[in-house]
Structure 1
């Protein structure tokens, strides 16, 4: 004897509308409504089949107890699809300039350069500022000057760190240890020693690896002598 069965589909997914279900015996079918609710005519012993592109198919055999419930719950499990291969294409020519977002003539600032530029601009306009908080204009200018000086030092440190990063990209650590015979624990110190040298600095900035290598070999001898003198 057919009876109306009221049910609800549950899952970890929130979109439960439009799931197809069919009574295998009577071939009556329907779709779940918003929230996964459904109603269908069925009898004890009938099998309901649930299917959807995002869920694993499920077959449920109905018992008398299912009809006695106010709401018959059916849990569905989402289909997990694994990708065999993921390809990421890097388009080097696509950037903010090529897309017309910024002008090709726009200068790009490092974090330290940006801080310094802001401080210098504030210094330039400081005579126009009205004294505040008990601080005179002269005091304000001195305060800004001190910060500008500090930021200039910070910029120099950043430039040296960028050169060291570039240098580490050119040579592996074992090159300094095996070829230049720099003790492993002093390699980092040697890198800072290198970027302090003006000639080496210029060779790095001009991307002249041959010249940089030549200067570096000479500086390695001097650096090891300094270590021995200690």
Structure 2
């Protein structure tokens, strides 16, 4: 009997996950394809043309609502929110419109192809050059240090890592996402990509392949970049 009661209490204390039905409203602004991110559970969805959405949530989860045309909203979900038949949220209008993002990323790697063992440290071409210059020893090592070759190779590594991030962005986002969703002019796309990878939080999310965080951060960066474009064209 005691064990049965203990099991009942344990289950009673477990936070239940519920798929909520939500409705976003915004005066004089589109509520189509707003990003809804459950930061706690790392789940994402988007609203439909009428602002309706569904997403799994439990009490205490943090939901973030973002769109280029709306002010972002961060909401800690309560049990009362979960008990509503339709959870409603009012957002404040801005001036530009966000549409859907499509993300595709290849999982092919040297490890998955069996070229190198899993877990083995992989060096880029620039890193291999630096290792050779550093470990040469003797006269060669001294000459490399004096000539500044190692400093140059270190810069090559930095450039190479940025090129890797740029290549990853190209895989994640198509040009029409920048122009139609983020409202970045076509001529500014490459500049915006450089702007993004210079942001440490975005670069770290990109390296970690954190799709949820990357989607969230790029919307905020686009807002900042569009403001820069406007100020430059005044």
What is the TM-score normalised by the length of structure 1? 0.48
* Larger of the two Rg values belongs to structure: 1
What is the TM-score normalised by the length of structure 2? 0.47
